[in-house]
Structure 1
């Protein structure tokens, strides 16, 4: 357990020394009242002053001072403007590759190359999926140096299954049949074929996208609205007529 350093009387008494150091570098009128002194180590402390000015709400001036062994007076080390507990701060900086989100990429944009992407592995390494491995071996040397790793397949499967083309989508919840029995369903080869396929129905909102076997929509090849289904213009009831403006003739 760390032991807090004892308060140094010479450093505590150096409030005016710390303020004078700030006045020499700060804009006039921005150094406010003395807030506190914090011992940072043996014979090392920081005096804090309030910042008076617009644009830095909650920020504080900080002046680090120190005292050499057997020295009676303090010496200024550095001055800073530092954020306080309630300060407004900019978001934590992230590299360009980590700031991008799905959907951000536009025409002409290029993602940075990630040599250590955990979602990919070398095409000549066994992935644990026989179909994927055979495809990778066949393509070796034909412009596909890396293939999806097991982690990459799992992440993609979870994203697709929980997305708008999985079983929890609103259109799937209201569908009477699943994609697995639809004639427009194209099974997906490889490890994901047991869960996913591709929709090839131009009338479906999922046309050309990956769908789960338990997804569904109203464009299923084997469903029919039936004779009892009212026409679209009949579903809203009889038209409302303003009888005060016109005469209704029967």
Structure 2
């Protein structure tokens, strides 16, 4: 049999049926007994030429069945990339039809129009409305948005912080850059309603008062009870001192 000629011994099972492919062309299916290809089946396509008595084998192949274990669909490398995968020296080309970008002359950003007016130059492509909306949703729902644990524990929003630098253009009202070197988001884009414990108005420290020097009372004295040895010593000293005056 044709399937047994290309398969190893014992890997071709029972006949599962056949299917007509066209005029005098039929494909027969046989079970595959190889444990590595469970759910697959051997397909042998045979054909008979016009007025011929015998059929000839056109193709023999192993095909997946309904319960076959299949590999995942192939995904281009550019679509497999994730944030943080790009390393030093890596290049990530952007396709000409990327929906996130639009021609520079179509931008509605005031800063871009100002640049065109002053220099006659501009970026070839800028963020499209779709690209801008995707960035807004990504930033607002991420760790620098209002729903992170850091923001929930903050005393106030970033929009009221002195270290908050608003972005220019259409995103000015919703996002800015943190400029506090002690904040966890220093140098990063944060949402206006984000927050952290390094808020400029988080706590007003009371002014430090200079501590006065300690006051020592060298004119007063404290009464203390003397023990027996101290009394005897004092008494003997007084007798020795007073004795010359007693004889005089």
- Specify if TM > 0.5: yes
Shift of 1:191: 0.7
What does 1:164-203 align with in structure 2 at a 5 Å threshold? 164-203=143-182
Counterpart CA distance in 2 for 1:60 and 1:139 is 68
Pair 78,86 (structure 1): closer, same or farther in 2 beyond 3 Å: same
More helix by share: 2
In structure 2, the CA distance between the partners of 1:52 and 1:136, relative to structure 1 (3 Å rule), is farther
Query: Matched residues in 1 for 2:118 and 2:148: separation?
Result: 37
Q: Confirm or deny: 8 A CA contact 2:179 2:187 kept in the other structure.
A: yes
Q: For residue 16 of structure 2, give the secondary structure of its aligned residue in structure 1.
A: strand
Gaps of 5+ in 2: 207-248
SS at match of 2:172: helix
CA shift for structure 1 position 45: 3.0
TM-score normalised by length of structure 2 = 0.73
Distance 1:139 1:206, change over 3 A: farther
Within the candidate set 156, 166, 169, 2:135 is matched to: 156
Q: Distance in 2 between matches of 1:161 and 1:189?
A: 17
More deviation, 128-137/163-172: 128-137
Q: Classify the secondary structure of the residue corresponding to 1:24.
A: helix
User: Which is further off, 22-31 or 201-210?
Assistant: 22-31
**Residue pair 2:154, 2:196 contacting (<8 A) in 1 also:** yes
1:128 and 2:105 aligned: no
Confirm whether residue 103 of structure 1 aligns to residue 80 of structure 2. Answer: no
> In 2 relative to 1, CA 139–172 (structure 1 residues): closer, same or farther, beyond 3 Å?
farther
User: Does 1:224 pair with 2:203?
Assistant: yes
Q: Runs in 1 of length 4+ with deviation above 6 angstroms?
A: none
Q: Compared with structure 1, are the counterparts of its residues 30 and 139 closer, same or farther at alpha carbon in structure 2 (3 Å cutoff)?
A: farther
Q: 2 CA distance for matches of 1:86 and 1:156?
A: 41
Aligned Cα root-mean-square deviation (Å): 2.5
Candidates 36, 61, 65, aligned match of 1:84: 65
Larger CA Rg, structure 1 vs 2: 2
1:168-216 deviation line (CA, Å, top 9, x unaligned):
1111122221001001100100110010000111222211111111111
Contact 2:3 2:60 (C-alpha < 8 Å) held by counterparts: yes
For these two proteins, the number of residue pairs brought into alignment is 206
What secondary structure, in the 3-state scheme, does the structure 1 residue paired with 2:132 have? helix
Unaligned runs of at least 5 residues, structure 1: 1-19, 228-250
Other-structure match for 1:244: none
Q: Look up the match of 2:241.
A: none
User: C-alpha deviations, 1:106-161, integer Å up to 9, x for none?
Assistant: 112111341221212222x222333333345656547x422222221111111111
Whole-angstrom distance in 2 between the partners of 1:224 and 1:159: 31
Q: For residues 105 and 85 of structure 1, what CA distance do their matches in structure 2 show?
A: 39
Instruction: Report if the CA contact (8 A) 2:115-2:121 is conserved.
Output: no
